[in-house]
Amino acid sequence: MTSEQLPFYIGRYKVTGQLGSGGMGVVYLATDERLHRRVAIKRLVKNPTSSTAHLRIRKEALLLAQLNHSNIVQIYDVVEERDDVALVMEYVEGSTLEHWQRERNPNLQQKIQLLRQICYGLARAHTVGIIHRDLKSDNILIDENNTAKITDFGIAKNWRENSDLTREQHVAGTWGAMSPEQALGKDLDNRCDLFALGVLAYKLLCGQSPFGDHESPFIIVDRIVNSQHPPAAKMNPDLPPALCQLLDRLLTKNPDKRPLNATAVAAELDAVQMDLDANTAGTISRTVTITAEGFHRNQRRRVRHRRILAGAALAGCMTLLVAAAAVLLPESQRETKGKYIAIVAPAESASGSREARLLVSNVLSAIKQGLSNREGLFLVPYSESERLRGQPLQEQARALNAQLLLQPTISCERVHCEASLELIDTANFSVAASRNTTLEIQESLGSRARTLQQLNYLLPGHPTQESEARFNISTDDYQRYLELYERRHDETSLEQSVSALEALLEKNPGFPPYYELLSELVIDHQFNTRSAESTKRFERALRRAPREIADHPALLAAELRLAAINNEVSRAQALLSQLQLTIPDQASYYHLRAIYHQTRSEYDKALQAMDRALALRTSATYLRQKALALSARGDLDEAKDYLLQSLQLSDNDSDTLSLLAAIELDSGNPGEAIRLLNSLGLDKLGAMDTYNLCLAHYIERQFERAQNCFDRVVESAPKDADPLLYKAEIARAQQLPQKAQALAERALALTDGREDWEGILMRARAHAELGQADRAVDALLKIRRQAPDDLYVNYARAQIYITGGDLNSAMAHIRKTLELGMSPIWLNTERFAPVCKRTDFAGLRGDFPELCSKRKENTQVAQK
């Protein structure tokens, strides 16, 4: 590379100053003259011990360049000249973490918020297999907006080939921040970064290194490997106990005892932050009379004395530990005490008789109930397992994050079936235990009881905590329930299924699975019909539930869905509290809580709940649920990141691909949305998928395809006004005003009597389409406090105001919609033509230059 005399060039970059230097190289300030932006360039020193180091660094840097995350310094380019390597990075105008703490004097909440950001950056990089190995305050940059950015990410991982503790210059990482396993040269994973995060967080929150400030690096490393750090509560008694426990777990020597991942750490920090926000008064400041260095020196003097007393104190201490464990154990450890077990969905058999298929459903129902409340086991919801039917067991275990799999195999003859149950340990995919039994096809309740008995034999160390005896049901009624469960996804028979289940409830209201199935059917029925009567029927059924099953999770979950639909906040909160005490698996509880907040458009709360669920069990379903909340909040790029993580666990998950298609549509990529939805198969598209496919064709101006598609939506959901309004828009774009008016009148008629905010919003759109601007605005004012301030509602309001000619109001909602992440391509329709034609919108076009970029192209496209 060129001379060191300033200014000089590295590649096309003009170097104007030096920002710093270290053992791996020199960091320069430079200007990218092609893109007219400042960059930071790190020129790496040559590694004499490796002839291929620059090739591995280049490969690592190219991978890191794909990480577009707000908490990671972006790598733009790699420059290679005469075997020298330079990394061109984002320039962060700010300071290191240490300088930030000294100059800003941040409070505890600000420190926690910063640590959460560091966790988010780590979590993003760890998902692609990159570990940092040198996470320290010098490698955390804080910009002017108090955004933390991790720099030098991953380069240390490939820069040094060898780790030799006796030769300081060959140790990868910084002495005071490396993990015990790193110092000992062992294999590393993401948890080595969690230890370094613990060191960084400890210094930030306690003001000292957990391993003292001795001048000898060998003594520091010896303490890291062999000595216990001073408990955080001793170093800063003002810290919340939960935060002290988290710091101590991050710094444990055994990686298996640290938190699972950076996402789990972020969730615990979030819980601490929420507690601090709720209890801001009454803090007590206590004086610290200990230093970390003094603690470690005293430890050496106390070792012999402690060993003498250990034997005499052991008996009494064990009694106290057993009694105090439930109180003193950190919440996250209490929540995860147990193994996750998942049921492997049996392969579907097209040739099997109806009776044989019902017997398979019977066995699965018994297994689900038999595993749902066993000591030391958490059952992964079968809805997750069912999506993975037929995939290799290793892939299912990875997607479900389960330690045990229960694989049922059923082979049927004319009047009986042979059932085999295998318990598989996913650590090595060995069969831990197995049971075989014969089941009679005609004896549904007998087969259920025999299956439950086999589970007891299979899992003697995990006794059940619930009796089957209290759920009395006749053989015929149970057989009818199995039939209804079998066809629960058949949208054409929803009305008949709901009526049949109501009849079963009349006869035996004490069978909890009835309520679980009814809630699923009623919600689907309401979505397809937009009828408030579905909710009333559901409410009547719940009122008939006897007291003895009032605390059953299936019933509580069903009641929670009803409370969410009826907007009964206090009732919902009470039910959530009951469910937290009732559901053994707290990950499932937080998932349910997130779904509740999602239905209420409380996206921040939904995200907080999903972080708690993911901290306990990272599964494809949970990642998708977090992506759903992020997309609803308008964070489309981050939502896509989580969906891609979900696809890494389960690469053919239709629900994940469906949501990814919806996000591509909102992001302005209708062609990609069409491709993804077509890849699922038109026969497998649900109502929402079909609706999104219609919208994608409409945005692409494929009007005839869009019309035909919306026709299918109208047929499947005849009481939904939305597709009729889009058909009216298409008719207007095709210069068919009479047809557009007729469609709008039909849509208006469908909203008659609806008082929920979605129904009123549809009514407002219909009034606007019919030229009744005043009535449209009146309807909008009616729901100003009910409707969420999200992307969907703002876009609908923009549609209404621009149709009614209120351009100022339209402009405000268009701007809000764009700021929430919607692509400008959605404004290239005929309805929004004034945005590109009128001077009123000149300011908006200036702020969003891409707003009308495709309109000229669209006007030249033939209308199909």
Q: Which percentage of the chain shows pLDDT scores above 90?
A: 13
Max mean pLDDT among 235-239, 383-387, 848-852 falls in 235-239
The token pair that represents 602 in the structure block: 């409380």
Average the pLDDT over 430-439 and give the result. 84
pLDDT above 50 (res 307)? no
CB atoms within 10 A of CB 672: 16
Calculate the average pLDDT of the chain.
79
pTM for the model: 0.52
Task: State the Cα torsion 487-488-492-494 to the nearest 10°.
Answer: 130
In the predicted model, what is the mean pLDDT of residues 108-117? Answer: 93
Q: Which residue has the higher pLDDT, 522 or 72?
A: 72
Is the C-alpha dihedral spanning 200, 204, 209, 215 positive or negative? positive
State the pLDDT at residue 296. Answer: 63
Residue indicated by tokens 């496209």: 861
% the chain with pLDDT above 70? 82
List, for residues 615-653, the tens digit of each pLDDT value. Answer: 888 888 899 999 999 988 878 889 988 998 888 888 777
Q: Residue 133: left if φ>0, alpha if ψ -120 to 50, beta else—which one? A: left
Q: Is the pLDDT of residue 582 over 90?
A: no
Q: Residue 51 pLDDT more than 60?
A: no
Q: What is the mean pLDDT of residues 314-335?
A: 30
Convert the pLDDT of each residue in 481-504 to its tens digit. Answer: 777 877 777 766 778 888 888 888
468: pLDDT strictly greater than 90: no
Using one digit for the tens of pLDDT, what is the confidence trace for 732-760?
A: 888 899 999 999 999 999 888 888 888 89
Other Cβ atoms less than 10 A from the Cβ of 96: the count is 18
Residue range 423-431: average pLDDT?
Answer: 88
The binding site for ATP consists of 42
Asked whether the predicted pLDDT for residue 122 surpasses 60, the reply is yes
Residues 647-703 have pLDDT tens digits of 888 877 788 888 888 888 888 888 888 888 888 877 777 777 888 888 888 888 888
| Sheet architecture: strand order including 148-150 | 94-96, 140-143, 148-150
Question: Residue 40 is inside which H or E element, if any?
Answer: strand 37-44
Strand partners, 90: 39
Give burial (CB, 10 Å; 0-12/13-18/19+) of 806. Answer: middle
User: pLDDT tens, 59-94?
Assistant: 667 767 767 788 999 888 888 877 678 889 899 988
pLDDT surpasses 70 at 761: yes
β-bridge mates for residue 142, sequence order = 95, 148
Say whether pLDDT at 53 is over 70. Answer: no
Question: Does residue 250 contact residue 198 with C-beta atoms inside 8 Å?
Answer: yes
- Asked which of 199-213, 240-254, 635-649, 845-859 is least confident by mean pLDDT, the reply is 845-859
Provide the pLDDT confidence category of residue 472 given band limits of 50, 70 and 90: low
Tell me the sheet residues that pair with 419: 410, 437
Whole-angstrom CA distances from 369 to 40, 244, 469, 741 are 59, 39, 12, 54
Could you give the CA distance from residue 29 to residue 561 in angstroms, rounded to a whole number? 56
Distance between CA atoms of residues 46 and 51, nearest Å: 9
Three-state DSSP class for residue 347: coil
Poorest-pLDDT segment among 307-316, 422-431, 587-596, 831-840: 307-316
**Which pair of tokens denotes residue 216?**
């000898």
Domains of the chain: 8-90 (3.30.200.20), 97-279+290-304 (1.10.510.10), 341-458 (3.40.50.11830), 474-571 (1.25.40), 585-652 (1.25.40.10), 682-860 (1.25.40.10)
pLDDT at residue 725 above 60? yes
**Could you tell me the pLDDT band of residue 29, with boundaries at 50, 70 and 90?**
very high
User: Cα separation of 58 and 159, whole Å?
Assistant: 10
At 127-166, the pLDDT tens digits run: 777 888 889 998 899 988 889 999 877 554 543 334 333 3
* Confidence at residue 291, expressed as pLDDT on a 0 to 100 scale: 67
| Residues whose CB is less than 8 angstroms from the CB of residue 354 and which lie 6 or more positions away in sequence, other chains included | none
Q: How far apart are CA 336 and CA 403, in angstroms?
A: 12
Pairing of strands 416-425, 430-440: antiparallel
292 pLDDT band (50/70/90 cuts)?
A: low
Residue 1 has pLDDT above 80, yes or no: no
> Which structure tokens are listed for 742?
């007729």
Per-position b or e across 244-283, b if 16+ CB within 10 A of its CB: bbbbbbbbbbebeebbbbbbbbbbbbbbbbeebeeeeeee
Partner residues linked to 40 by β-bridges: 29, 89
For residue 316, the model assigns a pLDDT of 31
Question: How far apart, in whole angstroms, are the C-alpha atoms of residue 584 and residue 378?
Answer: 7
Q: Which positions are annotated as active-site residues?
A: 134
Least confident of 311-320, 344-353, 813-822: 311-320
